[in-house]
Structure 1
C-alpha cells in the first residue's frame, strides 16, 4: 500500500534546533491589501495556479544581495541562465545540526527577492530550487508572506539542503506556524482557508553557506515559487482527449517494491520509495545516471542501485522519508543538463502538451481501492510517472508500485486517473475526508529545452 504523504498532513510536535531566526541573518517587511473571502464554487471553477521563476541575471539583480553575486553558468552567455553564488562572506555563524548534534562554523551570504504580489491570492505555496553544492557548502531557502489583511508571516524555512550528506543532514523544519498559517513539511498552507485569509504576496530568501576560509560556494541556478488557490472538490471536470494520436515516451521502468526492506536509514524501500523511484525513471529517460563512484556504497546484491542512490539523495531527515517534493526536484537537477520544478497542472490537457513535447510528468495521486482500476492497492499518497496516452486518451503510467520492473507499465482509465490526481478532497478507506494533491507534479527537463519543449512548459506557466 503506497503511502508516501501520510506524514505530510500533520505537523510534528517536535521542533529542531536550528530555527529560522538562527539561519536568517536579515529580513524586511512586506504587506498587501485585503480581499473578500473567495467562494470555493462548484467543480467547474478553474484552479488558480501561478508559477514564478528566477534564472537570469535580471532576475537575480532585482533582489537584495548581501555578499552574493551573479555568474555565467558553464556554457552560458550573458543573456542566458545565470547562477547565484557567494562573492564575499557577509558573516560567520555557528550552527548545530539537529540530526547529528554536531556544531560547525559557517560563512554565509544571502539574497532576498523583491516582494512578489500574487496575481490571485493563494492558500498554498511550494518553493523549489536547482543548485550545485560541493562538499563544504549548503543552503537554506525561506519564504515570508504578506496576508490579505495587511499583516505578514514570519520567515519560514522551506528547507536546509545539500546534494550530499557529509556536511549537514538535508531537512525540512517542523513546528513553524503563526496561528494562521504553517509549514507542512515542504508546503506553506493557510490553516483555515474557509476564513477567507490568503497569501497576497511573498518574498523568498536564499542563504548560502560554506566552510570558513575557503573559496567554496553553492551556486543556485533556478528558484521557483508555486502559489495556488484550489477549489475544494471531490470531482473534477473531465478534459476531452486532445492528442491527435497515441504517444508514449520511452521512460525506463523501475519498481520500488524490489527494494523493500533495503536501507532502513532511508525509510526501508518498498512503498516508501515511490518518489525517488519515479524521479530516477525520468532522470534515466534524459540519459543521466549516477557514476560508479556514486553507487560504491550500494550493496552489489541489489538490483537498480540507482534507485537506492535516489532515495539517499532525496531523504529528508525531519520528515523521515523520501517524499519531500522540492528535495526530489533539487536531486534531479544535480545531474548534468537537467533542471526541475514542482508545480501544479490544471488538467490532463496540460499533461498532453508536455507529453507531446517529450516531457514526462511525475504525478502525486491518492485513492481508495477500486477508484483506479488496475492499480490493485489503495494509497494516501503515491508518486508515479505519466509517460503517455493511448489513442483513446487513457493514461499510460510507469507505476513503481509494481512487483517487478517489467510490471511497471500500466494503462489507467483517463477519467479515473484525472480525478485521483486533480481533486483536492477525497474520502479514504477509513471514511475520513482527506486532502488530495490538486494536480501537484514534478517536471524535469533539459537546461536548454528545444522550442517545442519551451512552448509546452510555457503553456503550463513554467519558464
Structure 2
C-alpha cells in the first residue's frame, strides 16, 4: 500500500568567558561595521526616501505597518580585515536566489527585486574572506503574523521560506567569534522543536493544536468538537493550520492519518514536509527540507483522491499513503499542515486528530514503540466482533475490499451499523482507483465520530488494544502452505492461497497446549461463518511484519 523555519531560532546567549568566568563586553569598534538598507513596499529604497542607511543592529524596514521588504543591500566597513559579506534572499515566485542564475549577492549588490512587488520571505547572510573565522554575523527578521524571530547567524536561514510570509524588517550585527547573539532584542522566542518519543506523533486536543501551532491562517482551534479541533474562522472558506517542526528518531517511512468531519461541500488536504540532515563541504550540519508533500484531498461527499498536489522531490515522495525518504537515507524532522476548504461560508470541516506513524527500515535501526501505560496483558478476552466476509459482498468489488470490510467489522462491533460496500465507496481513492488507501479507511471510520489513525504497532500494542476492548485491523501478506507460490510467510489454515496485501481484524489472544495463538476475523473467508479463525501467533507476526506492522487504531 502502497520548510517553515529552517531553525527554531531560540535566543542564543553564549557568552565569551575569560579569567574567572567573568563575561566581558566588546565595543562595536572592535568589530567591522555593517551597514544596510531595504527596499520597502510603498516607500522604496530607504536612502532614496531620506531614511538613510542603518547599521550595527539598527532596524531597517517597518513593523506594525504590514509593508513587505522587496530588496536589500549590505555593505561592510571591514576596518582593515580581509572580510566581505555575501547574502541571498528567498523571493516570492522565485525562491532562493542561489538556486537561480541570480546567485549570491555581495558587498552592496541588491538582493531581491525592485519594481516587481515581490516580497522577501527569508534571508541568509555570511561573512567571506580569510578573517571570516574571527567574527559572527547575526541577523534578526520581523515576519508577517509572527513578529521578531530569534537571531540567526553565519548563513542560517532567517524567515519562513515556503510559507509565503513577508519579511517586514531586519537587524544585522557583527560580533567577535563566540561572543554570542546581541543581548538586546525584541524577539519572541520560537517554540523549540519537540522530540517525538518513539514512532508515533498524535495531536488530538485543543492543547495539542494550540501548543504545537506554527501558524493559523484563517483557522482557529475550537473546543466544541470532542477534545478540540481545527476549524475555519467565521466568514472564511479556506484556511491553513501549520504545526511547528518536530524532531524525530531517524525514519525512512511516514504515514500521516487524520480524524475529521467533512460536511457536504467541504474538504481537507493533509500535507507534511520532512528534513534530512546533511553536512556541507565545510563540515557544517544543515537541514535539507522537502517540499510540502500531499496525502491528497479528503472528504466524505467528494471524489476524494490521493496525489492531488506535490507528491515527490529530491528529499522524499508520497506513494499513495506512505512517504518514503529518497536515496535509502533517513529524515529526522517532520512538520505537517492541514488545508481546510468549504464551498459555503458558515460551514466548516473539523480536523480532530492528526497522526504521523514513523518507521525505519534500515536493518538495526528500527524505532522502538513507546507506551506510557502498563496494563495487565494476561488472560486477554476475545472480543465479539461481527463476522463479515468480503467474498459474499458485491461481486464486482468483493475481491478488493478487505480493508473496508475490516473497518466495517470494527464499526459494527462499536454499534455503528454499516455494510462493507458503504465503507468501500466511502473510502475509495478516485486517483489510486482502489479501496486500500490506509489513511482514507481510517478517515472514513472517523467520520462517525471515532478517533481513528494508522500506526506501526507491535504485538504488545495489539494486546493493549484488546485489553481495552478495541479490535484492530492489521495489514498482512501470507500464503497458506509451503507449496503455494510466492516468497511469503506461511499461515496455516488461511482461507486463501496467497496475498501480498490484506487487512484482517485482531479480536483476541489465547494459548492452547503451550502454543500462542491470535484470534482473527479474516474477511477473505468464503462465508461469514468462516471468518473467525485462529492463527499461530508466530506465523501471524511474520505475515504482519511484511507491512511493517501497519494497524488501524479505531476508538
TM-score, length basis structure 1: 0.68
Task: Decide whether aligned partners of structure 1 residues 207 and 26 sit closer, same or farther in structure 2, where only a CA change above 3 A counts.
Answer: farther
- Asked whether 1:152 is paired with 2:283, we answer no
Asked if 2 retains the 8 angstrom alpha-carbon contact of 1:49 and 1:229, the reply is no
Corresponding residue number in structure 2 for 1:219: 350
Please give the secondary structure, in 1, of the residue aligned with 2:401.
helix
Please give the secondary structure, in 2, of the residue aligned with 1:248.
coil
Q: Distance between the aligned counterparts of 1:180 and 1:67, measured in 2?
A: 30
- Asked whether 1:109 is paired with 2:263, we answer no
Instruction: Provide Cα deviations, 1:249-286, integer angstroms capped at 9, x if missing partner.
Output: 0000100001252xxxxxx3222100000001001111
Q: How does 1:73-88 map to 2 (within 5 A)?
A: 73-74=224-225, 76=226, 81-88=227-234
Instruction: Provide Cα deviations, 1:165-200, integer angstroms capped at 9, x if missing partner.
Output: 3xxx1010077221342111011002332xxx2111
Instruction: Provide Cα deviations, 1:390-449, integer angstroms capped at 9, x if missing partner.
Output: 233201100000111111001111111111102xxxxxxxxxxxxx2111100111xxxx
Alignment partner for residue 134 of structure 1, among 247, 256, 263?
263
Q: How does 1:238-317 map to 2 (within 5 A)?
A: 243-245=377-379, 247-261=381-395, 268-290=396-418, 306-317=419-430
Task: Decide whether aligned partners of structure 1 residues 53 and 244 sit closer, same or farther in structure 2, where only a CA change above 3 A counts.
Answer: closer
- Residue 71 of structure 1 deviates from its aligned partner by 1.2
- Residue 381 of structure 1 deviates from its aligned partner by 0.3
Asked if 1 retains the 8 angstrom alpha-carbon contact of 2:407 and 2:423, the reply is yes
Please give the secondary structure, in 1, of the residue aligned with 2:199.
strand
Asked if 2 retains the 8 angstrom alpha-carbon contact of 1:272 and 1:322, the reply is yes
- Residue 231 of structure 1 deviates from its aligned partner by 4.4
Corresponding residue number in structure 2 for 1:199: 331
- Residue 355 of structure 1 deviates from its aligned partner by 1.0
Alignment partner for residue 219 of structure 2, among 68, 74, 85?
68
Instruction: Provide Cα deviations, 1:114-151, integer angstroms capped at 9, x if missing partner.
Output: 01111x11101011111111111111111111112221
Q: Distance between the aligned counterparts of 1:394 and 1:192, measured in 2?
A: 39
Asked if 2 retains the 8 angstrom alpha-carbon contact of 1:54 and 1:224, the reply is yes
Q: Distance between the aligned counterparts of 2:550 and 2:164, measured in 1?
A: 30
Q: Distance between the aligned counterparts of 2:476 and 2:276, measured in 1?
A: 30
Asked if 1 retains the 8 angstrom alpha-carbon contact of 2:521 and 2:532, the reply is yes
- Residue 356 of structure 1 deviates from its aligned partner by 1.6
Please give the secondary structure, in 2, of the residue aligned with 1:438.
coil
Corresponding residue number in structure 1 for 2:492: 373
Task: Decide whether aligned partners of structure 1 residues 232 and 289 sit closer, same or farther in structure 2, where only a CA change above 3 A counts.
Answer: farther
Asked if 2 retains the 8 angstrom alpha-carbon contact of 1:137 and 1:211, the reply is yes
- Residue 52 of structure 1 deviates from its aligned partner by 1.2
Q: Which has the higher contact order (CA 8 A, sep 6+)?
A: 1
Asked if 1 retains the 8 angstrom alpha-carbon contact of 2:263 and 2:349, the reply is yes
Asked if 1 retains the 8 angstrom alpha-carbon contact of 2:289 and 2:315, the reply is no
- Residue 246 of structure 1 deviates from its aligned partner by 5.3
Q: More strand per residue: 1 or 2?
A: 2
Q: Distance between the aligned counterparts of 1:243 and 1:316, measured in 2?
A: 37
- Residue 73 of structure 1 deviates from its aligned partner by 2.7
Count of residue correspondences: 336
Asked if 1 retains the 8 angstrom alpha-carbon contact of 2:478 and 2:491, the reply is yes
Please give the secondary structure, in 1, of the residue aligned with 2:455.
strand
Q: What is the Cα-based RMSD across aligned positions, in Å?
A: 2.5
- Asked whether 1:417 is paired with 2:540, we answer yes
- Residue 72 of structure 1 deviates from its aligned partner by 1.5
Asked if 2 retains the 8 angstrom alpha-carbon contact of 1:109 and 1:207, the reply is yes
Corresponding residue number in structure 2 for 1:456: none
Alignment partner for residue 329 of structure 1, among 427, 442, 447?
442
Asked if 1 retains the 8 angstrom alpha-carbon contact of 2:275 and 2:334, the reply is yes
Please give the secondary structure, in 2, of the residue aligned with 1:192.
helix
Q: How does 1:381-400 map to 2 (within 5 A)?
A: 381-392=501-512, 393-400=516-523
- Residue 164 of structure 1 deviates from its aligned partner by 1.9
Asked if 2 retains the 8 angstrom alpha-carbon contact of 1:50 and 1:227, the reply is yes
Task: Decide whether aligned partners of structure 1 residues 49 and 404 sit closer, same or farther in structure 2, where only a CA change above 3 A counts.
Answer: farther
- Asked whether 1:187 is paired with 2:322, we answer yes
Residue ranges of structure 1 left out of the alignment (5+ in a row): 9-24, 34-47, 91-106, 234-241, 262-267, 291-305, 423-435, 446-463
TM-score, length basis structure 2: 0.57
Q: How does 1:45-60 map to 2 (within 5 A)?
A: 49-60=198-209
Asked if 2 retains the 8 angstrom alpha-carbon contact of 1:49 and 1:226, the reply is no
Corresponding residue number in structure 2 for 1:458: none
Corresponding residue number in structure 2 for 1:457: none
Residue ranges of structure 2 left out of the alignment (5+ in a row): 3-160, 166-189, 279-286, 365-375, 482-489
The ranges of structure 1 where at least 4 consecutive aligned residues each deviate by more than 4 angstroms after the TM superposition are: none
Please give the secondary structure, in 2, of the residue aligned with 1:154.
coil
Q: Distance between the aligned counterparts of 1:378 and 1:331, measured in 2?
A: 28
Corresponding residue number in structure 1 for 2:462: 351
Q: Distance between the aligned counterparts of 1:255 and 1:211, measured in 2?
A: 38
